[in-house]
């Protein structure tokens, strides 16, 4: 951090800042300018250290240097992280296309949807069994029975299964069924859950909270990485803004920003970002052009019968069209699908 002193600050004021930096375990370096002095403080500086500095006499401003996240940052690891799940590689040149229903609703629907996803060219399967619903009166998912259906569908198609974990106590049970643990938008800052999945040997798909900044998403990923789980994917799924025309606002900036500042793979979810099946394809294509490493897309053989998120579900035939176009865009940006 840089501690900027007020004009007219005394040598004693600067000494107090230096001593505080040393007490915090950091190294201070005083730079005397013509009009004012600054103290450059290096070391493992966090928000609390900065907040305390601000309180010292004649300190005008405290400027952070560097990023608050470390393990997730490109400075910590230059090469992109590539996550391997069976035959699927996420974060390399190939793109991940993870498709499936919002939720497992029945064995028939789950298997029919998974077979369709595979048929049109998906390389991953999604599906919820534990659903974080805004209303407690809405369909909550089929729980472990749903996971069994999804596992059967995953085995039948050979596609790796992505499914949401809502409760740290479910971890060992879920590890028996899924290939990737999804942490949903509503749980992005459930720190105990993040720590729990950080102990798992399974990769984690971490969704951005609907009101979370990019920095908060990266700091949430840090909780998982710090526990030793290096296989974290970040997911942009739209954020809340003043716009009401769509379910959420897809933050396209987040994709290149995350790719520039982090080595972790970035997945785009145009389904939750738009909430509208007619907008899923164009937003998906934009995400690939912006540098996403994969897409997470909801499909349903009969969207009008879906128990959750029907309006944003694509028909398998619509997913096929999307994939055909995605291949062209991927090629244009040096990727493949
Ligand atoms: C989902 O993937 O079905 C889901 C609930 O997503 P999100 O956490 O992004 O709302
Ligand atoms: Mn959904």
Tens of pLDDT, residue by residue over 136-191, are: 999 999 999 999 999 999 999 999 999 999 999 999 999 999 999 999 999 999 99
3 Cβ below 6 A of ligand 1: no
CATH topology of domain 2-63: Alpha-Beta Plaits (3.30.70)
Residues of the chain with pLDDT under 50: none
Residue 66 is predicted with a pLDDT of 85
102 Cβ below 6 A of ligand 1: yes
Sign of the Cα torsion 176, 180, 184, 190 reads positive
H/E segment holding residue 41: strand 37-42
Question: Going by CA atoms, what residue is nearest to atom 10 of ligand 1?
Answer: 185
128 Cβ below 6 A of ligand 1: yes
Alpha helices in 158-276 (DSSP H): 171-175, 191-198, 214-226, 254-261, 270-274
* Residue among 162, 188, 254, 272 to mutate when testing ligand 1 (max atoms within 8 A of CB): 272
Fold identical between 2-63 and 83-332?
Answer: no
Q: Collect all residues with Cβ–Cβ distance below 8 Å to 227 and sequence separation of at least 6.
A: 195, 198, 199
Question: Going by CA atoms, what residue is nearest to atom 6 of ligand 1?
Answer: 184
* Residue among 101, 184, 249 to mutate when testing ligand 1 (max atoms within 8 A of CB): 184
**Angstrom distance (rounded) from CA 267 to CA 95:** 9
Sign of the Cα torsion 303, 308, 311, 317 reads negative
Point out the ligand 1 atom lying closest to the alpha carbon of residue 185. 8
Tens digit of each residue's pLDDT (9 = 90 or more) over 262-291: 999 999 999 999 999 999 999 999 999 999
- CATH architecture assignment, domain 83-332: Alpha-Beta Barrel (3.20)
**Angstrom distance (rounded) from CA 183 to CA 187:** 6
What are the extents of the domains in the chain? 2-63, 83-332
């Amino acid at each position: 951090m840089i501690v900027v002193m007020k004009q007219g600050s005394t040598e004693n004021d600067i000494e107090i800042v230096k001593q505080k930096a040393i007490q915090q375990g950091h190294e201070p370096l005083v730079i005397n300018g013509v009009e004012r002095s600054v103290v450059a403080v290096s070391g493992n500086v966090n928000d609390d250290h900065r907040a305390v500095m601000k309180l010292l006499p004649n300190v005008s401003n405290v400027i952070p240097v560097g990023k608050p996240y470390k393990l997730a940052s490109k400075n910590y690891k230059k090469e992109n992280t590539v996550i391997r799940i069976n035959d699927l590689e996420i974060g390399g040149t190939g793109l991940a296309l993870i498709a499936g229903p919002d939720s497992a609703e029945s064995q028939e629907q789950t298997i029919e949807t998974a077979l369709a996803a595979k048929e049109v060219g998906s390389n991953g399967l999604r599906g919820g069994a534990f659903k974080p619903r805004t209303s407690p009166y809405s369909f909550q998912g089929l729980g472990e029975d749903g996971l069994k259906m999804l596992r059967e569908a995953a085995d039948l198609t050979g596609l790796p299964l992505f499914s949401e974990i809502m409760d740290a106590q479910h971890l060992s049970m879920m590890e028996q069924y899924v290939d990737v643990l999804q942490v949903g938008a509503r749980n992005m800052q459930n720190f105990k859950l993040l720590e729990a999945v950080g102990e798992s040997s399974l990769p984690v798909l971490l969704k951005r909270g609907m009101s979370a900044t990019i920095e908060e998403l990266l700091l949430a990923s840090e909780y998982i990485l710090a526990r030793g789980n290096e296989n974290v994917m970040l997911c942009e799924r739209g954020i809340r803004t003043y716009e009401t025309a769509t379910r959420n606002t897809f933050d396209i900036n987040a994709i290149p920003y995350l790719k520039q500042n982090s080595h972790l793979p970035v997945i785009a979810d145009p389904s939750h970002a738009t909430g509208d099946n007619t907008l899923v394809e164009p937003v998906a294509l934009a995400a690939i052009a912006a540098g996403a490493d994969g897409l997470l897309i909801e499909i349903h053989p009969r969207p009008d019968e879906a128990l959750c998120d029907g309006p944003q579900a694509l028909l398998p035939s619509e997913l096929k069209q999307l994939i055909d176009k995605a291949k062209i865009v991927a090629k244009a940006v040096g990727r493949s699908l």
